[in-house]
Chain A
Amino acid sequence: MLKSLKRASVGAVSAIALTTAAVAGPYDEYEGQTLIVNFPAHPHFDAVMKILPEFTKQTGIEVEVDQLPYLKMRERQTLELAQDEGEYDLIAYVVFSKADYVYADQLENLAKYFMNPKLADPSYDADDLIDGYVYNIGFAGGNKGYLEGKTGSLFGIPYGSETSILGYRTDIFEKHGLEVPETYEEMLEIACKIPELEPGMGGLSSRAASGHHASHAFLLHLAPLGGRVFDDQWNPIVNNEAGVQAANALKTIVDCGPEGAASFGFGEALGSFLNGDTAMFLDTTVVAGQINDPSKSQVVGKVGWAMHPMGVRRGSQTGGFGIGIPANAENKEAAFLLMQWLTSKEGDKLVAMAGGNPSRFSTHADAEVNEKFPHMATFGEALQHADPDWRPIIPVWGKINADLGTTLSKVLTEDLDIQEALDGVAERTQAVMEEAGYYTWQ
């Protein structure tokens, strides 16, 4: 009797314990922990700052943010990630840091977190994340080493990512009866027609300054015009017909652009569109917020959006930031919970409503988001064509990118012959790749 009673009470106790365990939320174990995260000073992450209190309210996990200018952020991370014990639990990284961090074994592979039933939220719906962004920013070890594929795995989740989009002045287009360009030919033709139709106004503002800016602008045209930097054997093909066409497109745009366009960085290019000095803008989606902000823009309500025009194919850029967990982080599991919450459907919508760049298709299609930001639907459509391979993400890219950018700047300012310039880039790139060991198997 006594024995059975004892057994019963043990049973009852364990039943109670089980129920408590079942009721315990996924965040309970981590309540009261403080995460230290490193984010860049960037419009998207300014929006993130507004939604973090909601995360703390829901989970009890505190978040301390170290927000740095993005070039400083990379320097700081390089130092932090090389320590035995790092300060950061979660970092936002620029897409081209992926190659360096993953290669140096400094980012956590996310498989073990998504496999852990206590951590992974079954309603997360990873398929809703934008493919191009995930492949470009999150994956490594797959195709070409830096993309998705059968040998690849996930090291980060896109957050604050962006693609390219064409902004155009609806008033100018209407006044002259111009059609919104669908193809590269149409776009270049309109770009050069604008200065004739509207004296003093440039056609399209583009970055073109020496280095990263010129290279970025060129690559923006290279993918839709059918080009690539390398072929499948890592031979540079930047100097083929598509490459020359892309450089020609850049030169045409700069020649028909606003005064001084050849020395424009991103800030100046955007500035001239915001001031109403140009009729079109082809660059990142991240500017949408500023274009609608009357304190920064003189063209509020006069800008329409269209997809990045098509060359022989559609291909808009993919870039911006992703978030990942450093291998030397102290609170990895709580950091994963934050990462999952931020990129969940709920978090993604919250950040979009606060003015950030969403990472999910569903957020782009969301009625409430579209009511507040009418351009979101076009952006979502553009994202279907986001090209994760518009530029290679390999450790030696920094050097090749700089050479490409300075050489193109010479084309734009010193009238260097395009074919000759790109042949030079290809030759030097070959040497850099050779030294880095890319031809070991040839």
Chain B
Amino acid sequence: MTSQRLNKLTPYMFMAPAAIIMAVALLYPLGYMIYGSFRDWNPSQTIGESEFVGFKNYITLFYDPAFRESLSVTLTFAFAVVTAELVIGVGLALLLDRNIRGMSVLRTLFILPMMIAPVVVGLMWRYMYHPTVGTFNRWLKSWGFEGVDWLGQHALLSVIIADIWQWTPFIFILSLAALQSLPRSALEAARIDGATAWQQIWYIKLPLMMPVLIVTALLRLIDAFKVLEVILVMTEGGPGLSTEIVALRISRTATEFRELGTAAAMSNYLLILLLVLTLAMFAITRLQEARAARLARQIQEEG
């Protein structure tokens, strides 16, 4: 009996070290953040000395126009960059999915922007956008156009362009890997049936790549919600609050306003938002899979 029970326990004991590490490394900080978000806590105090305020931080934030504005900036930014990066990245992958000489060199070149430290990317773009000495305005002026006030009048667009430049390669490289691992038989069958290149892309390649694309998009979306350094260096959130994404607001709330409790509550809002998005994405994938399975069954039954 005892040995039987021990046998049953064995797998859990093997799992225990991993579970403990996970609890300490993941759940403890998370719990700390949630606990902190219910307190009026400034960085000169230990968390024990701070005062419990219930949901006050969450309620204040909910009605805070600045927080709402930065939430809407974040949503605009995240969806804009992910959509643009998906279109460009997948497009590039479709174009380059063939045997070109020197492909490995090209691939390395394409992913270079991803390897650059975000602070450097921010600085580089900030100088390229500079109103007088920046590359873009010098080009524009040498072609006889008016200079554009990139980081003033069009700050959000400028930040979006910089992010697309840096992160499109990520989507490109994953899409290319997905394309190259597609079953060749399906494509050959389509070709024999006389499908055009566009038809192959729309009806075969893209649907088969979909699971990879959804995960890729999700990863990028989560990342885009948390991007901080590039925007911090380029615009510091300005002008006004036009590029102040939530991650930047959290950092300012903690360091400039010295309100750790509010910053923690903001992080939790962001966490909840990301959780909802992730769950929604997975739900969509599940639904699609179920539909595909049903279709497959129907075809089999009819056949």
Question: Which A positions have Cβ atoms within 8 angstroms of B?
Answer: 71, 74-75, 78-79, 81-82, 100-101, 103-104, 106, 209-212, 214, 258-260, 262-263, 265, 277, 395-396, 398-399, 401-403, 406-407, 409-410, 412-414
A104–B43 Cα distance when bound, in Å, is 10
Question: Does B132 count as interface, using CB distance less than 8 angstroms?
Answer: yes
In Å, the complex CA distance between A300 and B111 comes to: 44
CA distance A211 to B255 in the complex (A): 14
Residues B235 and A263 in contact, CB atoms below 8 Å apart? yes
A35 and B255 CA atoms in complex are apart in Å by 28
Contacts of B130 in A (CB 8 A): 260
Q: B256 — which chain A residues lie within 8 A by C-beta?
A: 212, 398-399, 401-402
Could you tell me the distance in whole angstroms from the C-beta of B46 to the nearest C-beta in chain A? 6
Q: A399-B257, A402-B252 are in contact. Are A410 and B239 (CB under 8 A)?
A: yes
- A406 B45 Cβ-Cβ under 8 A: no
A398 near B239 with CB under 8 A, answer: no
- Asked whether any CB of chain A lies closer than 8 Å to the CB of B236, the reply is yes
Asked if A78 meets B238 with Cβ closer than 8 Å, knowing A259-B132, A402-B252, the reply is no
Interface centre among B44, B130, B132 (most CB of A within 10 A): B44
- The DSSP consensus for interface residues of chain A is helix
Say whether B239 contacts A413, CB under 8 Å.
Answer: yes
CA distance A262 to B152 in the complex (A): 7
For A212, list chain B residues within 8 Å (CB).
256
Asked whether any CB of chain A lies closer than 8 Å to the CB of B153, the reply is yes
Interface residues of B in 123-140 (CB under 8 A from A): 130-132
Cβ of B258 within 8 Å of any chain A Cβ, yes or no, is yes
Shortest C-beta distance, B246 to chain A (Å), equals 15
Interfacial chain A residues near B241, Cβ < 8 Å: 210, 406
14 cross-chain CB contacts under 8 A: A78-B43, A82-B44, A100-B258, A210-B240, A211-B236, A259-B147, A260-B130, A263-B235, A263-B239, A277-B132, A396-B257, A398-B257, A403-B66, A406-B241
Contact A78:B257 (CB < 8 A) given known A258-B132, A262-B239: no
Given contacts A259-B147, A406-B241, A413-B239, contact A100 B44 (CB under 8 A): yes
Residue contact A262 to B149, C-beta cutoff 8 Å: yes
Binding site for A on B (CB under 8 A): 42-46, 66, 130-132, 147, 149, 151-153, 155, 235-241, 244, 252, 255-259
User: Are B239 and A210 in contact, with the CB atoms below 8 A?
Assistant: yes
Bound CA span A403–B259, Å = 15
Residues of A within 8 A of B258 (CB): 100, 395, 398
Q: Is the CB of A209 within 8 A of B236?
A: yes
A277: B residues at CB distance < 8 A: 132
Residues from chain A with a CB closer than 8 A to the CB of B236 are: 209-211, 265
Q: Using Cβ atoms and an 8 Å threshold, which residues of chain B touch A395?
A: 42, 258
A409 interface neighbour in B153, B240, B252, B259, Cβ under 8 Å: B240
Q: How far, in angstroms, from A414 to B291 measured CA to CA in the complex?
A: 49
Q: Which chain A residue shows the least CB distance to B132?
A: A259
B229 to chain A, nearest CB (A): 14
* B240 neighbours in A (Cβ, 8 Å): 210, 406-407, 409-410, 413-414
